[in-house]
Amino acid sequence: MKGAAAGLALATLAARAWALSGPEVYAQACAACHGADGRGAPAGSGITVPLPDFTDCTVSTGETTANWAGLVRHGGPFLGMSDEMPAFGDALTEEEIRAVLAHVRGFCTEPRYPVGDLNYRRPVFVEKAFPEDEAVLGGEIESARHARGYASELELETRVGPRGQIAASLPVGVVDPKRAPLRAGVGDLALSYRHVLLAAPNQASLVSAGAELALATGNRRHGLGAGTTVVAPQLLSGHALGPLVVQTQVRAELPAEPARADRRMLYRLALQLPLGPYKKCPVPALELEQSHALDARVHAATLLAPTLYLPLSRRGHVALGAGVEIPVAGTRPFDWRLGTFLLWEYRDGPFWAW
């Protein structure tokens, strides 16, 4: 909404003495800009920036309620967006804000899309359950007794339908053996699919299942791949428990040639404490990994990692993650491992929109 139209709507809303329903708030405060049908600015509105199409379910369900409520209260600049979106915090009650957001989400007619409130922040070492449109550049430094390794991995994730996601990732690594030349190259290309099995916003819970196929594109002799195809089925979940968020991952790694790679189970858990309701709020966490042998020659290890998720943009669509993983029980596959990532939720806006 722009200029006189915005001022008139705000004055009208502030002057009335009764609560409005979601459709009433939308008709009086939103429709002039976003269209009565939710598809965007109608002709003659004077809007000069692109507006979302609320009938697109990835738009109307993908954002968190807290982020949208902050946008309605404080206006576009609150999320790094245009100031043509005015602030309605002085004109609408919290009940009316919740009602109009529910109405906007109602423009999506496909109920199978999980709401963005279940899209908990990405852990560093634990994979998350929510299907997302993300580009993630990850990095690891691993220090062991006889060598040090450096790896970088680019992963692209794309939603498929209401509940699916496909992803592809390719690592590039450098191994620095002590008293030997450096070894560098490409690792194993991984392709994956995951699907939401349960989305329960009232219980703040999400459960997904999926599988990853890692192809032997790396060089096992140089420590840059498994040397065999590995299939990894997995079960993932995310849950909000009061102020905490718990994310879990159960993963089986099943190599085609067990003599080349370990057959094992991985049990991972991230215990997160978001420092505020918005996506731009930091999230410290403690992550745990427990391996379990499926072969007698494989030894179990317990790893613990303090981590931090740090959003870089006001809308929270660009973020850094970092943590240090340390063996605390069982074998010591390494002395320590530093994990990092740079994340971009590319459907939420350009990378530079901070």
Q: What is the pLDDT of residues 100-135, one digit of tens each?
A: 999 999 999 999 999 999 999 999 999 999 999 999
Contact 212, 188 (CB under 8 A): no
Q: What is the CATH number of the domain that holds 48?
A: 1.10.760
Q: Specify if 256 maps to a domain.
A: yes
List the beta strands (DSSP E) in the chain: 134-143, 147-160, 164-177, 183-186, 190-200, 205-214, 230-241, 244-255, 264-272, 283-293, 301-311, 318-330, 336-344
The pTM for the full model equals: 0.90
* Average pLDDT score over the chain: 91
Residue 346 clears pLDDT 70, i.e. is over it:
yes
Condensed to tens digits (0 to 9), the pLDDT of residues 24-34 reads 999 998 998 89
Tell me the per-residue pLDDT of 177-225, one tens digit each, with 9 for 90 and over. 876 777 888 999 999 999 999 999 999 999 999 999 999 998 887 778 8
pLDDT reading at 35 higher than 80: yes
Domain boundary residue, one of 86, 105, 124: 105
What mean pLDDT comes out for the span 39-61?
A: 85
Question: Is 353 domain-assigned?
Answer: no
Looking at the chain, the whole-number percentage of residues with pLDDT higher than 70 is: 93
The stretches of the chain forming alpha helices (DSSP H) are 3-15, 22-25, 31-34, 57-62, 65-74, 94-105
Q: How far apart are CA 200 and CA 207, in angstroms?
A: 9
| Domain C-terminal end among 84, 105, 126 | 105
Are residue 86 and residue 194 in the same domain, yes or no?
no
Say yes or no: 130 and 230 in one domain: yes
With a cut of 80, say whether residue 83 has pLDDT above it: yes
Is 214 in the same domain as 72?
no
Confidence check: pLDDT of 146 > 70? yes
Q: What is the mean pLDDT of residues 315-334?
A: 95
Same-domain status, 76 and 124: no
- pLDDT of 18 reads 67
Specify the pLDDT at position 17. 53
CB neighbours of 72 closer than 8 A, spacing ≥ 6?
A: 87, 88, 89, 92, 97, 100, 101
Q: Quote the pLDDT of residue 1.
A: 44
Q: Tell me: pLDDT of 235 over 70.
A: yes
pLDDT-based confidence at residue 82 (cuts at 50, 70, 90): confident
Residue 217 CA to residue 321 CA, distance in Å, equals: 27
Q: What does the pLDDT read at residue 295?
A: 78
Find the domain containing 209 and state its range.
116-348
Residues 88 and 215 in one domain: no
Lowest mean pLDDT among 13-17, 85-89, 198-202, 203-207: 13-17
C-alpha 215, offset from chain centre: 25
In this prediction, residues 30-50 reach a mean pLDDT of 83
Three-state DSSP state, 48: coil
250 and 327, same domain (yes or no): yes
Q: Please determine, for residue 7, whether its predicted confidence score (pLDDT) is greater than 80.
A: no
- Report the sign of the C-alpha dihedral through residues 113, 117, 118, 120, in that order: positive
Query: For position 221, what pLDDT does the model report?
Result: 79
Tell me, yes or no, whether 305 and 185 share the same domain. Answer: yes
Q: What is the mean pLDDT of residues 319-346?
A: 96
Greater pLDDT, 325 or 262: 325
Distance CA 242, CA 272 (A): 11
Instruction: Based on the fold, state whether residues 70 and 157 are members of the same structural domain.
Output: no
Residue 2 vs residue 350, higher pLDDT: 350
Which residue among 105, 135, 162 closes a domain? 105
Percent share of the chain, pLDDT over 90:
71
Looking at the fold, whether 136 and 86 belong to one and the same domain comes out as no
If asked whether residues 84 and 188 sit together in one domain, one would say: no
